[in-house]
Amino acid sequence: MSFKQKFALAVLTVAVAASLGAGFLAQSSYSEQFRDAISAPPSAHFWLGTDELGRDRFARLLYGTRVSLLLAPAAALLSTLIAALIGGAAGFLGGRWERLVTAGVDLFLSLPWLFLLLAVRALLPLNTSPVTSVMITFLLLGCLGWAAPARMIRAGTRTLVSSDFLVQASASGISRWRLFWRHLLPNLRPILLAQFWISIPLFILSEANLGLLGLGVAEPLPSWGAMLRDLENYSAILQNPWMLAPVVLLVTVVSCLQLLLRTEDRAAC
């Protein structure tokens, strides 16, 4: 592991630890409104000031980080697993299966999934708690995010299937099942890891985009997406630059995730 990667890992560890220890680090609840201190500047009590409802920005940033940093990797894992199964099987089996999956992936990528997210949000029971609601949002993102990685994995699998060592293994009479699990999947590891790592920032940004549409995490639960909505008011940013903290953290985390990728993994993206 290079120095850069160690540094990135340290930053991510600190971010995750801080978000998990939000209850100890933050002096206020993320939802408590201090109505006599709306849009307050940073102070000893409010390290990043307060938002327009008088809520502690630092507390909201920590809890928002917890939501985004825990759920985005979970969604990325889910989408990568689905992609590995579908893309890997298509590339391995070849023929009409491959054509079918390719067509399916193309179709899937061309559909406007935002409307599905809108529809699911509209169909959820009204008294769904904010936590359940955000978990469903990320679950959906995970279920819908498999198509692009599946395409990469299928292509990678095709290359591997025609490689000398697999042809030799196949010729020596190894079963197709064993061939898939023991020889193919381990060699797909760089692609799978790369797809996993690049999916995490993608899902964080997707949630942020949904937040910008007002369809992300429900009040009063914070998320990076919900906090990014405050940045629509650019003149307020100039007066209160600490409002940029969620952006800084988002960029830092996404950059660190990219740095964590090994050179060969990055090449597989």
Choose between 104 and 130: whose C-beta lies nearer to another protein: 130
Residues 14-33 that bind another protein (CB under 8 A): 31-33
Q: What angle do CA 24, 27, 33 make, to 5 degrees?
A: 130
CB 68 within 8 Å of CB 204: yes
Stretch that binds another protein, among 12-20, 40-48, 93-101, 117-125 (CB under 8 A): 117-125
CB atoms within 10 A of CB 88: 22
Enumerate the H helices of 124-188 as residue ranges.
130-144, 147-161, 164-171, 176-178, 185-187
Site string for another protein, 123-162 (x = CB under 8 A): -x-xxxxx--------------------------------
Stretch that binds another protein, among 12-20, 120-128, 161-169, 258-266 (CB under 8 A): 120-128
For position 53 contacting another protein by CB under 8 A, the verdict is: yes
- For the bound state, the minimum distance from the C-beta of residue 126 to another protein, rounded and expressed in Å, comes to 4
Residues that contact another protein, how many (by CB under 8 A): 29
Q: What b/e sequence results for 46-84 when a residue is b if at least 16 CB atoms lie within 10 Å of its CB, and e otherwise?
A: bbbbbbeebbbbbbbbbbbbbbbbebbbbbbebbbebbb
For position 215 contacting another protein by CB under 8 A, the verdict is: yes
For position 121 contacting another protein by CB under 8 A, the verdict is: yes
Residues 226-265 that bind another protein (CB under 8 A): 229, 232-233, 235-236
CB atoms within 10 A of CB 165: 10
Distance of CA 69 to the CA centre of its chain: 8
For position 214 contacting another protein by CB under 8 A, the verdict is: yes
HSE, side-chain direction, 13 A CA sphere, residue 263: 3
Q: Which residues form the interface with another protein (CB under 8 A)?
A: 31-33, 35, 38, 52-54, 118-119, 121-122, 124, 126-130, 213-215, 218-220, 229, 232-233, 235-236
